[in-house]
Amino acid sequence: MRDRRLLVVAALVLAVGLAVYFRGSPSESSPDHRVGSDAADGSSALKQLAEKLGHPTSTLQDGFAPDLGTRVLFVLSPSTGFSQGDAKRLTDYVTGGGVVVYAAEQGDPRLDGVLHVGRLSTLASGDATGTGPMLSGVQQVSGGPAVQPLVPRPAQVVLLRSRSGQPIGFEEQIGQGRVITLADPLPLCNGYLEKADNGRLASDLVSLAGGGGQVGFDEYHHLPSGPGSPLTGWLSTAWGAALSWAVVLLFVGLLLRGRAFGPRLELPGGGDRSSTEYVGAVGYLLQRTRAAAVTAEVVREATRRTIARRHGIGAMGAAFDEALRKRAPKEADELAAAEAQLAAAGRREEPLLAAARRLHSLAYPRRSQP
């Protein structure tokens, strides 16, 4: 038995160790495509590309007030909604001559409204071909497996079409500026820039800032990353990891040795209880709850069922009384008298007990006292 326990504990420790080893560090992900994330779906490489092309970059993080010093503003998958004031400042920026690259899988309702972006509820492939004159060097674009196609208006020029020919990117002139809307932001993300012509697409969008123009990124409308747990941070240090392993080894050692903390206590033995104890306990509870009426009904029904089994009577109620009177008229008379005595006892304990004993003697005549 002890050897089996040792094998079970060893198997559990080995399974935990293998799970930790193969899991490694948790994989990073940036579903809202943050410019500060190096994950495959982050957009840090897009900012580095703009800097390599000679464009200064800025990040709108503490507030949203784009000015014309920023020539191109990337708004990627906003996860916090645009307020009415934010939408007004964005449209003023575009009307004054700014360029907005708005790429989002589902979009922001208020932003879609002010930028006249319509989306279909169906899905299409994110792999697309360039069709607009602005993207003449972009032949193929590799994106996500499923995106929502766009619904362009007459003033909006389609730039990208999915494999099935549905628009997933268009451009519109608004005032002195322009808005480029993409249904899929993944072609601009880190893990996709090297696929197909995604890098050329990103370069063409950055180049809209002109020679040396500043490129901005909207991080204000991304949910702030919450602070990590202090306990998790402490456990990630060398001292925290060492103490954690010490606690695990101590627990496993005590489990293997089987040492008890203190003297062994014997549980009090519990033998079979007699039926008299159960009857007494039930009677005490009934007395405490003043359930005289319930007690009388239980005794009456139990007596009738016992007599019915003894004489082979299947029916109850009036049919039982008639059948019992035909088969055992003396028992029928005694039963009627005992039930009348039980009904007359009411809530008084002594008459109730006497009537119950009479019914018990009738139900078990061989066991009753003479």
DSSP 135-149: GTT--EE---S-BPP
- Regarding whether 185 and 84 lie in a shared domain, the answer is yes
Q: Among 218, 251, 267, identify where a domain stops.
A: 218
Closest CA to 130 of 205, 67, 76, 58: 205
- What is the mean predicted confidence (pLDDT) over 47-57? 95
Q: What is the pLDDT of residue 305?
A: 82
Q: Does some domain include residue 60? A: yes
Residue 5: pLDDT band by 50, 70, 90 thresholds? Answer: low
pLDDT greater at residue 57 or residue 238: 57
Higher pLDDT, 358 or 4: 358
| Domain membership flag for residue 89 | yes
Q: What is the pLDDT of residues 319-339, one digit of tens each?
A: 787 888 888 888 888 888 888
Q: How confident is the model at residue 358 (pLDDT cuts 50, 70, 90)?
A: confident
How many structural domains compose the chain? 2
User: Within this chain, do residues 113 and 182 fall inside the same structural domain, yes or no?
Assistant: yes
- Residues 205, 99 share a domain: yes
Q: Give percent of the chain with pLDDT exceeding 90.
A: 47
Same domain, 180 and 300: no
- Give the domain range for residue 86: 44-218
Among 190, 218, 246, the domain boundary falls at 218
Q: How confident is the model at residue 208 (pLDDT cuts 50, 70, 90)?
A: very high
Q: What does pTM read for this prediction?
A: 0.56
Instruction: Check whether 117 has a pLDDT greater than 90.
Output: yes
- Which are the contacts of 132, defined by CB distance < 8 A and separation ≥ 6? 157, 158, 159, 160, 170, 171
Residue 113 belongs to a domain? yes
Predicted local distance difference test score (pLDDT) of residue 82? 96
**DSSP secondary structure string for all residues of 59-104:** EE-S-----TTEEEEEEE--SSPPPHHHHHHHHHHHHTT-EEEEE-
Averaged confidence pLDDT in the chain? 81
Judge whether 179 lies within some domain: yes
End-to-end CA distance of the chain: 58
Q: What percent of the chain has pLDDT over 70?
A: 74
CATH of the domain at 123: 3.40.50.880
What average pLDDT does the segment 77-105 reach? 95
Q: Does the pLDDT value for residue 17 go beyond 60?
A: no
Dist. CA 117–CA 102, nearest whole Å: 10
Task: Considering only residues 142 and 238, tell me which one the structure prediction assigns the higher pLDDT.
Answer: 142
Q: How many helices (H) and strands (E) does the chain have?
A: 12, 11
Higher pLDDT pick, 221 / 28: 221
Residue 335 resides in a domain: yes
User: What was the pLDDT predicted at 297?
Assistant: 77
* Same domain as 209, residue 297: no
Instruction: Assess whether 279 and 158 both reside in one domain.
Output: no
Indicate whether 39 belongs to any domain: no
pLDDT tens-digit series, residues 260-282: 556 666 666 555 555 555 556 65
| Helix-helix angle 318-327:292-311, to 10 degrees | 50
Residue 299 placed within a domain: yes
